[in-house]
Structure 1
Amino acid sequence: MTGKEILHKMKEKVQEKVGLCSSTAESGKGKSKMAKNITHGYHLVKGKGHHPMEDYVVAEFKQVGDSELGLFAIFDGHLSHIIPDYLKSNLFDNILNEPGFWTEPENAIRKAYRITDTTILEKAVDLGQGGSTAVTAILINCKKLVIANVGDSRAVICKNGEAKQLSIDHEPTTEKESIENRGGFVSNFPGDVPRVDGQLAVSRAFGDKSLKEHLSSEPDVTVEMIGDDMELIILASDGLWKVMTNQEAVDAIRNIKDARSAAKRLTEEAVKRNSTDDISCVVVRF
């Protein structure tokens, strides 16, 4: 093995151990210590935009006291990579530091999302005017899955071969009334997607201080208990979902046992289908 190959292997090991990814680390994998059959993998591909990679991923199993938490997330930034990077570093800590997390995780997540967004807005001078969507998944002791999201990154599970979406795509057209009630408007120009105030293509997001009066950062939260019929979870940014249906994504990787290979397969398929956006994907296999 050459020195270059050794360095590449060492880099891969570091990425797998840390489980955090930015534009400089494109893939990694890991597994649960509590249930050896539960593994995760992730893969990112930069889009064709003339800006730095704006997708960030968290994927790790973490021991907290006597419990094990699987922490997985996709943060898809717009107008900046700074806010998704901030979320990667802070959102899960804020969630786990909420006093009620272990008894009422859904409420703790909602509160942590609000606190995090408030902090981002207060630090707008340092963090900038951009924003980020988020989809987070917390797997508690391999038994309980709590999904939360703002924006259009998506969480999909597979049970007995059937895809089931656990997040809600927050699109301007579906939340037009609430946007207008806040004093905003939804544009719908020919050849373009609907946008809040003619600017943002999602109706909920972290940050976006200039639009915040008309946007929400309130997450939708869903709880799913893990049964014997659970096969896998997919978290991905809209760079994937713009070109693939939930069932197509599940069908594409259902028979791929290695989670990182499955995540890579999805990003490759999205590129093949001419997705031009940044594409990030996390796969958790049971």
Structure 2
Amino acid sequence: MPKQITHGFHMVKGKSNHAMEDYVVSEFKQVSDNKLGLFAIFDGHLGHDVASYLQIHLFDNILKQDDFWTATENALRRAYRATDDEILEKARVLGKGGSTAVTAILINGEKLVVANVGDSRAVIRTNGKAIQLSVDHEPSKERSFIESRGGFVSNLPGDVPRVDGQLAVARAFGDKSLKLHLSSEPDVAVEMINDGTDLIILASDGIWKVMSNQDAVDCIKHSKDAQSAAEHLIEEALSRKSKDDISCIVVKLQ
């Protein structure tokens, strides 16, 4: 039986002194005979211009790949690389900052394709269990890659590991000054939506720093709709003292 699909998103600025640096895409789009759900969280750093650029251009770059329908994973990897190249070429305009990204494309309500760089995360709930589809790209996990390109990972007491003592993620768009030591290669996962899958969450690390995947799916299991679920998820993260900018998208499949 075809699922009824609804979606909602919510964003809250954190306690930092800078402006909100997160951007979100949450929409459905008809492409030929296919209905695509396009969902993304872009968590910017050192300015919001790179995240803003991604919001406008990344899905366009993905969907214009000739082999999107036949070799989706390869198309996504190529589009991520091409978009990062564009951002680096425009560094004078976009600035020195960067952005993490997690994207999810839901094809005809049947197939979910997730890609990510950084630490924003995609989680689904299947038969009540939380399943993470993205990969957290932490500097400590990718130390060998970073060091092989001449970089280093700092481990200062009281701080998180950072690439060259600066960035707390090992993969991101932009960050031209760190690019020699930083990858923009996404991890890609493809998941078929079965009868037991009823929820998709995309969220920035402001949620995942204070909540486990299972905490997140459990906390909204009684929410009446996707929008109220997204709002409740952020309220819960704030009650647990999250101080970051927080963005989340909830997709309900009923």
Please indicate the TM-score interval, normalised by the length of the shorter structure.
over 0.9
Residue of structure 2 in register with 1:57 after alignment: 24
* In structure 1, C-alpha distance between the alignment counterparts of 2:10 and 2:103, rounded to whole Å: 16
Q: Note if contact 2:200-2:251 (Cα within 8 Å) is conserved in structure 1.
A: yes
* In structure 2, C-alpha distance between the alignment counterparts of 1:257 and 1:146, rounded to whole Å: 26
Residue of structure 1 in register with 2:234 after alignment: 267
Residue of structure 2 in register with 1:132 after alignment: 99
Q: Does 1:195 align with 2:158?
A: no
* In structure 1, C-alpha distance between the alignment counterparts of 2:240 and 2:23, rounded to whole Å: 22
Would you say how many aligned residue pairs link Structure 1 and Structure 2? 253
Output aligned runs, 1:117-266, within 5 Å. Answer: 117-266=84-233
Instruction: Select which of 75, 79, 88 maps to 2:55.
Output: 88
* In structure 2, C-alpha distance between the alignment counterparts of 1:76 and 1:205, rounded to whole Å: 10
* Post-superposition offset of 1:255: 2.1
* In structure 1, C-alpha distance between the alignment counterparts of 2:222 and 2:198, rounded to whole Å: 10
* In structure 2, C-alpha distance between the alignment counterparts of 1:257 and 1:74, rounded to whole Å: 23
* In structure 2, C-alpha distance between the alignment counterparts of 1:250 and 1:182, rounded to whole Å: 38
- 2:200 is paired with a residue of what secondary structure? strand
- 1:114 is paired with a residue of what secondary structure? helix
* In structure 2, C-alpha distance between the alignment counterparts of 1:241 and 1:55, rounded to whole Å: 15
Instruction: Select which of 69, 85, 95 maps to 2:36.
Output: 69
Deviations 1:39-77 (A, max 9, x none): 101000000111110011000010111110000000000
Percent identity between matched residues is 71
Q: Note if contact 2:3-2:109 (Cα within 8 Å) is conserved in structure 1.
A: no
Instruction: Select which of 98, 101, 110 maps to 2:77.
Output: 110
* In structure 2, C-alpha distance between the alignment counterparts of 1:185 and 1:276, rounded to whole Å: 27
Higher relative contact order (CA 8 A, sep 6+): 2
- 2:101 is paired with a residue of what secondary structure? strand
* In structure 2, C-alpha distance between the alignment counterparts of 1:203 and 1:121, rounded to whole Å: 17
One-letter amino acid matched to 1:51: H
Deviations 1:135-167 (A, max 9, x none): 000001111000000000000000011000000
Kindly name which structure, 1 or 2, has the bigger radius of gyration based on alpha carbons: 1
RMSD: 1.0
Structure 2: 5+ residue stretches without partners? none
* In structure 1, C-alpha distance between the alignment counterparts of 2:106 and 2:98, rounded to whole Å: 26
* Post-superposition offset of 1:36: 6.4
Runs of 4+ in 1 over 6 A off after TM superposition: none
TM-score between both structures, scaled by the size of structure 2: 0.98
- 1:115 is paired with a residue of what secondary structure? helix
Structure 1: 5+ residue stretches without partners? 1-34
Q: Does 1:283 align with 2:250?
A: yes
